[in-house]
Amino acid sequence: NQTTVTIPSQPYDFACDLNKTALVIIDMQNDFCANGGFGEMLGNDITNTKSIIPTIKQVLDQFRAHNLTVVHTREGHEPDLSDCPESKLKRSKRQGAGIGDSGSMGRILIKGEKGHAIVEELTPEPGEIVIDKPGKGAFYQTNLLEELNARGIESLIVTGVTTHVCVHSTVREANDRGFDCLVLEDGTAAFDEDDQQAAIRMFHQQGAIFGWVSHSAKLLEQLK
Ligand code: TIU
């Protein structure tokens, strides 16, 4: 039962079998997308990261309607910070509010706290894969590769935040593991528009060096 679709993309059309494709939603957590979260406490403007929630929801709804594979990731650490490298912790503290410190949504980037939770609109449903990751890339110290291999997944449609940090790290890791990645430009965001533009260009330059870039409408056209 093969359902191959072709999605107009940069630098050229992206083709995939939807039954071997997963929607990956990276770190759409309150800490990065909600007022009062870590992102905002660090002085970032969360307008852009918050604005992509409805776009991702539209794509998620279609993946759910077609019973396709969905992966959600969350960046975060154990309450005792045993899975947080000292180097990451030290650098986070230099910004004012650090990992594990208390904020208006509980302890920053700590599992179980409100800030760590995925924004309400995109709450995972039973049967969807939820990956808790201590790093920026979703493959590092997680079972994501095993989960994808178990389902025969070969291609990833990637969304989430932030484009230049966790989305980039994850797409680069996925490339080295043999996955084809399509990034949705309007389904990803960085706090800063220059970072967004640069990150998007880096995916598809040099003949899709890390993958393809398209827009949600072009994907949704194929999921009707
Ligand atoms: N999810 C993710 O991108 N984590 C970050 O720390 N991003 C920043 O842009 N800082």
Q: What confidence score (pLDDT) does residue 1 get?
A: 61
The two beta strands, 129-133 and 69-75, are parallel
Q: Which atom of ligand 1 is nearest to the CA of 169?
A: 3
Mean pLDDT of the residues in the chain: 96
| 27 is a catalytic site residue | yes
Q: Which amino acid is at 74?
A: R
**Which of 45, 56, 136, 140 most suits a substitution to test ligand 1, by most atoms within 8 Å of the C-beta?**
136
Looking at residues 207-223, what average pLDDT do you find? Answer: 97
- Separation of 135 CA from ligand 1 center, angstroms? 10
**Whether residue 219 has pLDDT greater than 70:** yes
Q: What confidence score (pLDDT) does residue 64 get?
A: 98
| ipTM attached to this prediction | 0.97
| Cβ-count burial 185-213 (b if 16+ within 10 Å, e if not) | bebbbbbeeebbeebbebbbeeebebbbb
Question: Which residues 6+ apart lie within 8 Å of 98 measured at CB?
Answer: 89, 92, 108
| 88 is a catalytic site residue | no
Q: 25 burial class (0-12, 13-18, 19+ CB within 10 angstroms)?
A: buried
**Whether residue 42 has pLDDT greater than 90:** no
Q: Are 97 and 42 in contact (CB under 8 A)?
A: yes
Q: Is the CB of 32 under 6 A from ligand 1?
A: yes
**How would DSSP label each residue in 60-97?**
HHHHHHTT-EEEEEEE-B-TT-TTS-HHHHHHHHTTSS
**Which of 24, 28, 32, 195 most suits a substitution to test ligand 1, by most atoms within 8 Å of the C-beta?**
32
Closest residue by CA, ligand 1 atom 6 = 165
**Whether residue 218 has pLDDT greater than 80:** yes
The model scores a pTM over 0.95: yes
